[in-house]
Amino acid sequence: MAHTKLLPPAMAVRLLWARTGLFSDDERSNSSAVIAEGDLNSIKARAETDDQEKLYVLGVLATLNAAFRNLDIIHKKREMNFQENQSLRSSFLESTKEALDFGNKARDAVKSIPAMVIGGSAGSLTLVKALNLSSLNAWLVGLLCAGIGYLVNILIVRKTRQSKMKMFVMQDYERGVYFDQYFRRVSNSLLSLYSEIDQLHKNTFDASYPMDKSPTEFVDDILKGLRPTYCKHVHRHIREKIITPELWPICETGKKEAVGNCPNWQN
Q: Among residues of the chain, what percentage have pLDDT more than 90?
A: 37
d(CA 37, CA 15): 8
- Sign of the CA dihedral 93, 227, 232, 191? positive
For the chain, give the mean pLDDT.
79
Domain count, the chain: 2
- Report the Cα–Cα distance between both ends of the chain, in Å, rounded: 57
Domain match, 224 and 263 both: no
Domain match, 171 and 239 both: no
Domain match, 122 and 204 both: yes
Domain match, 190 and 222 both: yes
- Provide the residue range defining the domain that includes 197: 9-228
- Is residue 2 included in any domain, yes or no? no
Domain match, 131 and 90 both: yes
Q: Letter for the amino acid at 185?
A: R
- Is residue 65 included in any domain, yes or no? yes
- Sign of the CA dihedral 98, 160, 236, 185? positive
| 236: pLDDT strictly greater than 50 | yes
Give the global pTM: 0.72
- Is residue 237 included in any domain, yes or no? yes
pLDDT confidence band for 136 (50 / 70 / 90): very low
144-149: average pLDDT: 62
- Is residue 200 included in any domain, yes or no? yes
Domain match, 128 and 245 both: no
